[in-house]
DNA sequence: TCCTTATCGAGAATTTTATATCGAGAAAAA
DNA sequence: TTTTTCTCGATATAAAATTCTCGATAAGGA
């Protein structure tokens, strides 16, 4: 590869493993900020979280910040850089579909604004819930979803309905012009090209745990 | 590497990506079982979930089942094989710490037995909650956690407390002899060697979504 | 001022994970 | 029966992610 070709290389998309680690750095960094520390090294972060220092540096590099030898990274700057990179500084309005126990819990978790998410409305089919509010978020009829999503230019939809209803919920969100879906239903959603789906399925995480545990116990 | 060395290679641990995909196969397979289908090919699974057929076959291989040319895999057998592999057939008793909105939602989700988990008790510091039950699970004082975990030989602890209380909860669970922690608090837990921690942090999943969405929108 | 130490960041090497290729075998069609 | 088609599973290749190596550089002593 010539030098010119090297210069022309397109910017690589951020690896997903990197994206998943960044929030973990962020939590640690916010903790360190409280303690009054001004800077932190990749070595320290790595030891604290059980990663490799080079990996931490490479991850941080994606966010666009530069460190300095001997001292490392400025904590405040690094926090800002990660939040910026994840787009957690621009609070995005979102719809939540399904106000069962998980949906209710999510509406009750007051911190999503720290992660760039703001629930402006929730939707449900249950007549008992429509018209009420859950933790200050109004619950509306599903029939209003498409039109309202269009008018409000909503980009993110969160699906917390049971599996059988998930595809229909997704279809409505997409019809309403949604760009990204955070799916908690244990099912694979079929969506047109251009619509992002992130599956937050707990069972995936649980699978890792139960398998490894069984493995560990079998070795006792 | 000589042939002998090759033969002596130790059995590799299952890759985490594989463990995360297996539950997705399982959900699809259970759906197919309902429709009455008897067998399914890796090609079909792959197309349905957007994976590569070879990858699906490799994943399935880990669970120990063999398919047959032209028809693929027996659905019932495959379901059983995956569940066995993830240890979801042996229901494991678990403690849940923290009965806030998320903890309550989890106790309310009646399906964890399908994933090998059974909540036998929940713990909280809130005097108002102690002594009551949430969806049939008794809520006990944190003071009883260690002793009860020891006596009941509990292996899995689920942490759904706020971040500031998570490490203390983990310490108690570990003192009680727990082997694996499913952590929902946005914090890195420090645990001794041998204790498994699986972070189910929603923020990690959300980071992937918000970053990619911002990226996609910026390209419009 | 010079020396020692800790760290970054670039690039190489390694490991892990994903995808492609292809022979063999089973089912269905001819 | 023979041919065609589809799929598995073994092996090879490619891509992605992680880890190692090392020169450069800033900070804090000696």
CATH topology of domain B16-85: Arc Repressor Mutant, subunit A (1.10.10)
The structural domains of chain A, with segments of one domain joined by +, span 14-85, 92-204
**Residues of chain B contacting residue A156, judged by C-beta atoms under 8 Å apart:** 209, 213
Place of tokens 């399914």: B40
Does the distance separating the beta carbons of A203 and B156 come in below 8 Å?
Answer: no
pLDDT band at A12 (very low <50, low <70, confident <90, very high): confident
Of B108, B116, B200, the CB nearest to A210: B116
Count Cα atoms within 13 angstroms, Cβ side, for B116. 25
Residue B182: both structure tokens together: 């499913």
Does the distance separating the beta carbons of B28 and A207 come in below 8 Å?
Answer: no
Quote the mean pLDDT of chain B. Answer: 94
Classify residue B46 as exposed, middle or buried by CB count within 10 Å of its CB (0-12, 13-18, 19+).
Answer: middle
Does the distance separating the beta carbons of A48 and B20 come in below 8 Å?
Answer: no
A179, B45, B117, B215 from A167: Cα distances, Å: 15, 18, 27, 25
Rounded to 5 degrees, φ, ψ at B158 are -115, 125
A144 DSSP 8-state letter: G
- Tell me what pLDDT residue B5 has: 35
Spatial distance from the CA of A25 to the C1' of C8 (Å): 18
Residue B132: both structure tokens together: 């009551």
Say if residues B154 and B95 touch (Cβ distance below 8 Å).
yes
What's the rounded mean pLDDT across residues A177-196? Answer: 96
Place of tokens 């409280």: A34
Q: Hey, of A13, A109, A205, which one would you mutate to test binding to chain B, going by the most B CBs within 10 A of its CB? A: A205
Q: In sequence order, what E strands does A42-115 have?
A: 73-74, 92-97
Give the residue ranges of chain B where pLDDT is below 70.
1-11
pLDDT band at A11 (very low <50, low <70, confident <90, very high): low
Rg (CA), chain B: 21
Query: Which strand D nucleotides have any atom less than 7 A from protein CB atoms?
Result: 5-11, 16-21, 24-27
Between CA A69 and CA B202, with CA A17 as vertex, the angle to 5 degrees is 110
> How many CB pairs below 8 A link A and B?
178
- Which is it for strands A39-40 and A73-74: parallel, antiparallel or unpaired? antiparallel
**Residues of chain A contacting residue B49, judged by C-beta atoms under 8 Å apart:** 188
Place of tokens 């929902």: B184
Does the distance separating the beta carbons of A216 and B155 come in below 8 Å?
Answer: no
Residue A55: both structure tokens together: 């990996």
B89 DSSP 8-state letter: S
- Tell me what pLDDT residue B2 has: 32
pLDDT in tens, B195-212: 999 999 899 999 999 999
- Tell me what pLDDT residue A33 has: 96
Secondary structure (3-state) at A195: coil
**Residues of chain B contacting residue A199, judged by C-beta atoms under 8 Å apart:** 24, 205
| Strand D proximal to B43 Cβ, under 7 A | yes
State the Cα–Cα distance between residues B166 and B174, nearest whole angstrom: 12
CATH topology of domain A92-204: Rossmann fold (3.40.50)
**Residues of chain A contacting residue B22, judged by C-beta atoms under 8 Å apart:** 207
Secondary structure (3-state) at A212: helix
- pLDDT score of A5 more than 70: no
A68 DSSP 8-state letter: B
What's the rounded mean pLDDT across residues A89-94? Answer: 97
- Tell me what pLDDT residue B11 has: 64
Spatial distance from the CA of B17 to the C1' of D8 (Å): 22
- Tell me what pLDDT residue A149 has: 98
Spatial distance from the CA of A53 to the C1' of D21 (Å): 14
State the Cα–Cα distance between residues B146 and B153, nearest whole angstrom: 10
**Residues of chain A contacting residue B216, judged by C-beta atoms under 8 Å apart:** 179-180, 194, 196
- Return the residue of B nearest to A209 by Cα: B198
- Tell me what pLDDT residue B1 has: 33
DSSP string computed for B137-148: EEEEEGGGHHHH
Q: How far is B35 from chain A (nearest CA, A)?
A: 14
- Tell me what pLDDT residue B6 has: 34
CATH of domain A14-85: 1.10.10.10
What's the rounded mean pLDDT across residues A87-112? Answer: 96
| Strand D proximal to B61 Cβ, under 7 A | yes
Interface of A with B in 79-118 (CB under 8 A): 85-88, 90, 92, 101-102, 104-105, 108-109, 115-117
- Tell me what pLDDT residue A9 has: 39
Place of tokens 């006792």: A220
């Amino acid at each position: 590869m010539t030098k010119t070709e090297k210069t022309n290389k397109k910017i690589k998309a951020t690896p997903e493993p990197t994206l998943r680690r960044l929030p973990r750095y962020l939590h640690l960094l916010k903790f360190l900020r409280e303690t009054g520390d001004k800077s932190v090294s990749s070595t320290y972060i790595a030891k604290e979280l059980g990663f490799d220092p080079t990996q931490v540096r490479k991850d941080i590099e994606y966010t666009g910040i530069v460190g300095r030898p001997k001292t490392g990274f400025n904590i405040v700057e690094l926090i800002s850089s990660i939040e910026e990179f994840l787009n957690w500084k621009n609070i995005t309005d979102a719809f939540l579909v399904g106000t069962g126990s998980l949906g209710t819990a999510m509406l009750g978790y007051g911190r999503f604004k720290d992660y760039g998410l703001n629930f402006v409305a929730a939707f449900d089919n249950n007549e008992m819930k429509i018209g009420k509010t859950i933790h200050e978020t109004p619950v509306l009829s599903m029939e209003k979803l498409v039109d309202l999503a269009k008018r409000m230019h909503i980009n993110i939809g969160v699906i917390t309905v049971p599996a059988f209803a998930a595809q229909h919920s997704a279809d409505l969100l997409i019809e309403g012009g949604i760009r990204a879906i955070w799916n908690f239903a244990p099912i694979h959603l079929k969506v047109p090209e251009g619509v992002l789906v992130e599956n937050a399925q707990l069972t995936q995480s649980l699978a890792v745990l139960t398998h490894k545990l069984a493995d560990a116990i079998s070795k006792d």
